Every structure is written in structure tokens, then in C-alpha cells.
């Protein structure tokens, strides 16, 4: 069994998949044996969840620092003492994706894995990929696999929390389950509306700029834990081709694991 780990700034996502799955060709979505997600304080739950599997290989994308990397590796070594643990890192070329970052290795490994997943799963399409988590990343990749770069902005909840903390008399808010209309009539809903539509505006700006520059409209892929809060607003946008996809990073790690490049121990 192959264990894939996406260690982000807030949560650690993981998936187990048969080691030989995909040898007869890539299938989407991948047939995960199990998946899960824990906070940085929830590693006991993580250990209990994966202990039942016969893990023979592990591939990790980690953007949350070396301390978290060490903790993950220590827990894995307790459960599986001889387990090979490999670190996924961005590079210039992988799985048909050409990374045009000025310094390719400086691109976050999660973003690079997402590009690999998006390009492979939606082969032959120009794409804008919006991943909405602690931060929101909005990246562009052409149908031929050229990753053009992207933008990073505060995620939905981070944006709302920052506004609430730094503006007098505005309440601290959690993510709203009932998203208000654009012109809200209560302060906390106005914060939520402003933050949601700021995210939507950045995404639509990326789509429009790509369309203007390349004279063709890209498909929008939206992913991440905060994506469900944005989807209702996307449904109001006319002539926008979009799709909600899940587990892009884990899927990209799985695809990369099928290649023999890009993986460093």
C-alpha cells in the first residue's frame, strides 16, 4: 500500500492506495483505499487510522515546515520501522508539466502536485486552478502543460478573521453556512459577503486575463476546504466553465509516484 500525505498549513490530509493501482493506466478519481484529514494536533488519530494498513511506501508533500515533517516521519517510523519515506518537491518538469517559476524548486510542492493532477486529469485543456484553503492560490496552466504561475491571497477565513481582529466594533466570525447576498444587511454577513466576493473577484480576474492574453477561455477548477462557500456564487456567473474537484494534491502525488522523476529521499 502506498501512503500519500499532503501536509498543509492547517491540516494534514492523507490517502492510501494500492501500490499497483494505475499500472494499467491512470483512472480518475483514484480508487483510494482510505482517506482522512487531521489537524496538526490530531496525529494520534492519524496514527490509529493508518495502523491497519500494510504501508510499504510513503510520499509526502509538506509546506508547513520541518518541525511538522519530523513529527510525521517519527510517527510513521514507530508504526512502520523500515518504511521508505520520500519527500515530493517541485522541479522544472514532471508528468508533462513544465514549471515556469523563475526558480522552479521555490514553487510550493502542493501547488506543483495540484498542477500535475489538473493537467493529467483534464488533459488538453487550458486551466485556471483555484485552491481555497488557509491561503487561496490561483494558478494557470496551458493545455500543453506549461505552468505559467499564479497568485496567492489570504484564504476566506483568514481574510475574515484579519478584518474582524483589526477593525473596531466588527465581530469575529466563523465560516457561514448560509452565505448572504452580495449586499448584506448585517455586519457579520457583510464581512462574509465581502470576503467571498473578493475571492470570486480574484478568480474571475485570472480567467479574464488568461482569456484576453491567449484568446481562449480556460476551464476553471476549484478545490480546497473553503471551495463550497464559493460555489453558490460561481453559479451566478454566466458563460463560465468550471468544475469542483477534490484532493488535487493527493491525486498529483499519486500521479508523480507513477513517474520515477521528481521524487527525492
- Tell me the DSSP string of 165-188: HHSTTPPP----SSPPPSS-SSHH
Question: DSSP letters along 25-80, please?
Answer: ---SS---SEEEEEETT-HHHHHHHHTTS---EEEEEE-S-HHHHHHHHHHHHHHS
Q: Which of 166, 170, 171 is nearest to 154 (CA)?
A: 166
**Bond before 16 cis per omega within 30 degrees:** no
Q: Is 24 a catalytic residue?
A: no
Give me the pLDDT at residue 152, please. 97
**Bond before 29 cis per omega within 30 degrees:** yes
User: How many residues can be counted in the chain?
Assistant: 265
CATH 3.30.420.40 fits 123-246, yes or no: yes
Whether 264 and 61 have beta carbons less than 8 Å apart is answered as: no
Give me the pLDDT at residue 118, please. 98
User: Which CATH number is 2-88 given?
Assistant: 3.30.420.40
Catalytic residue among 24, 110, 126, 146: 110
Give me the pLDDT at residue 260, please. 59
Q: Tell me: is residue 13 an annotated ligand-binding position.
A: yes
Give me the pLDDT at residue 265, please. 44
3-state SS, residue 255? helix
Give me the pLDDT at residue 192, please. 82
Give me the pLDDT at residue 173, please. 45
Q: Where are the alpha helices (DSSP H) in 122-239?
A: 156-166, 187-214, 227-234
Give me the pLDDT at residue 263, please. 47
Q: Tell me: is residue 109 an annotated ligand-binding position.
A: yes
Domain ranges of the chain: 2-88, 123-246
Confirm whether 2-88 and 123-246 share one CATH topology.
Answer: yes
Whether 127 and 140 have beta carbons less than 8 Å apart is answered as: yes
Per-residue pLDDT of the chain (265 residues; tens, 9 = 90+): 999 999 999 899 999 999 888 666 777 888 999 999 999 988 899 999 999 999 999 999 999 999 999 999 999 999 999 999 999 999 999 999 999 999 999 999 999 999 999 999 999 999 999 999 999 999 999 999 999 999 999 998 888 888 766 665 555 444 454 555 788 887 778 888 888 999 999 999 999 999 999 999 999 999 999 999 899 989 889 999 999 999 999 999 999 998 754 444 4
| C-alpha 20: how far from chain center | 24
Residue 237: which residues within 8 A CB-CB, separation 6 or more? Answer: 200, 204
Amino acid at each position: 500500500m502506498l501512503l500519500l500525505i499532503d501536509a498543509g498549513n492547517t491540516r494534514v490530509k492523507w490517502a492510501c492506495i494500492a501500490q499497483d493501482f494505475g499500472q494499467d493506466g491512470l483512472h480518475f478519481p483514484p480508487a483510494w483505499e482510505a482517506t482522512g484529514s487531521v489537524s496538526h494536533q490530531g496525529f494520534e488519530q492519524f496514527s490509529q487510522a493508518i495502523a491497519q494498513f500494510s504501508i510499504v511506501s510513503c510520499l509526502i508533500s509538506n509546506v508547513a515546515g520541518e518541525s511538522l515533517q519530523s513529527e510525521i516521519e517519527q510517527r510513521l517510523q514507530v508504526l512502520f520501522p523500515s518504511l521508505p519515506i520520500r519527500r515530493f518537491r517541485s522541479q522544472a518538469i514532471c508528468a508533462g508539466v513544465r514549471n515556469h517559476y523563475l526558480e522552479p524548486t521555490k514553487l510550493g510542492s502542493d501547488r506543483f502536485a495540484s498542477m500535475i493532477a489538473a493537467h493529467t486529469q483534464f488533459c488538453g485543456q487550458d486551466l485556471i486552478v483555484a485552491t481555497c484553503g488557509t491561503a487561496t492560490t490561483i494558478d494557470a496552466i496551458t493545455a500543453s502543460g506549461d505552468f505559467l504561475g499564479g497568485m496567492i491571497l489570504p484564504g476566506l477565513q483568514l481574510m475574515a478573521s484579519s478584518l474582524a481582529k483589526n477593525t473596531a466594533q466588527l465581530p469575529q466570525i466563523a465560516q457561514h453556512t448560509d452565505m448572504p447576498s452580495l449586499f448584506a444587511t448585517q455586519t457579520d454577513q457583510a464581512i462574509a459577503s465581502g470576503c467571498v466576493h473578493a475571492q470570486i473577484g480574484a478568480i474571475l480576474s485570472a480567467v479574464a486575463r488568461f482569456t484576453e492574453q491567449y484568446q481562449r477561455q480556460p476551464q476553471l477548477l476549484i478545490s480546497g476546504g473553503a471551495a463550497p462557500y464559493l460555489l453558490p456564487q460561481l453559479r451566478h456567473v454566466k458563460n463560465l466553465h468550471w468544475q469542483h474537484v477534490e484532493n488535487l494534491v493527493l491525486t498529483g502525488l499519486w500521479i508523480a509516484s507513477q513517474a520515477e522523476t521528481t521524487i527525492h529521499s
